[in-house]
Amino acid sequence: MKTAVRNNKVKKSKEDKIFDFILYGIAAILIVVALYPMYFIVIASISNPNLVSNGEILFLPKGINFKAYEQLASYSQLWTGYKNTILYVIFGTIFTLVVNIPAAYALSRRKLYGRKALTIFYLIPMFFTGGLIPTYLAVQQFHLLDTFWVMVLPFSVVTYYIIVGRTFFANSIPEELWEAAQLDGCGYMGFFFRIVLPLSKAVIAVIALWAAVGQWNSYFNALIYLRDPELQPLQIILRNILISNQTISSMTTGAAAAEAKQMADLIKYAVIVVSSAPIMCLYPFVQKHFNQGVMLGSLKG
């Protein structure tokens, strides 16, 4: 049998091999183009700032030192920002799933009364918003300004997540499954928690990843609604560190100014590594579900 399979294996022609070679070559070039900037940032953050500024760092770090990371670690607010961001990511992701997943499932059911009107109601904010000032006044009226929950509650409903979830549920959870569950005495809540959610791990993982990345990178909401330094996320803390270092480098003169500018540039690289590394470490574990979620979003519900 194995011999027959080997004999039936189609041999590639010379043109096909040339095409594959060109295709793999282009893919390799694209991978290098995508990965090299990240690699350069890492090696530049641990290299001698003089060599980095002179363009002598290309592929390997030189004059290895960790001055930028040591200076970052000396800021006590950095660890406070890390703690706050992790908490915002955890609670924000959980609350986003709690709000958007049930809404997406409800809109996917054809027998839902007012389904079209509710869909339009969710779609309108994607194109028209009240603006920053009305949103700020609304947040103020709910007494959420300068509180932990202002980073979690007001912006947890995301129409795009609902559309992706609705598409998944409409294509993957047929009405016949609900009818079969009814025959076994299963109600709406039991069907949703016992059958729908276990079958929806892929879309849940995708929305959780999107929500977590959004919370991790979020800085504008914190910039507008938070004043307490103890509540500020990592991105705001890193922004403040960069601004303070640039200010110091601009206020000094002579050799000290050149050294301060080099250190400020070095800290920029370290800041990128510190802010990006956790999410980059998380992504490989959910990459499969993420790719599937992109395809789900491309389908019409």
Residues 279-300 have a mean pLDDT of 62
Q: What is the pLDDT of residue 74?
A: 77
Choose between 25 and 250: higher pLDDT: 25
Cβ(157)–Cβ(163) below 8 Å: no
Question: Quick check: 105 pLDDT over 80?
Answer: yes
Residue 263 has pLDDT above 80, yes or no: no
For all residues of the chain together, what is the average pLDDT?
79
Contact (Cβ atoms closer than 8 angstroms) between residue 100 and residue 207? yes
Report which residue type is found at 85.
Answer: T
CATH 1.10.3720.10-classified regions of the chain: 67-301
Q: Mind listing the pLDDT tens digit for each residue in 191-206? A: 888 888 888 888 888 8
pTM of the entire structure? 0.76
Contact 236, 81 (CB under 8 A): yes
Query: How much is the average pLDDT of 141-149?
Result: 88
Reading the block at residue 67, the tokens are 């001055």
* pLDDT number for residue 219: 82
pLDDT on residue 26: 92
Contacts of 270 (CB under 8 A, 6+ apart): 45, 68, 69, 72
- For residue range 16-74, what is the model confidence (pLDDT) as tens digits? 778 888 888 998 998 888 888 888 888 877 777 777 777 777 777 777 777 778 777 77
Could you name the CATH architecture of 67-301? Answer: Orthogonal Bundle (1.10)
How many other C-beta atoms lie within 10 A of the C-beta of residue 264? 20
Q: Closest Cα partner for 46 from 22, 23, 21, 72?
A: 72
Percent of the chain past pLDDT 70, that is, above it, reads 85
Task: Give the residue among 97, 119, 117 at the shortest CA–CA distance from 108.
Answer: 119
Q: HSE-up of 97 (CA within 13 Å, CB side)?
A: 18
What is the Cα–Cα distance from 105 to 95, expressed in whole angstroms? 16
* Cα–Cα distance for residue pair 84/226, rounded to 1 Å: 12
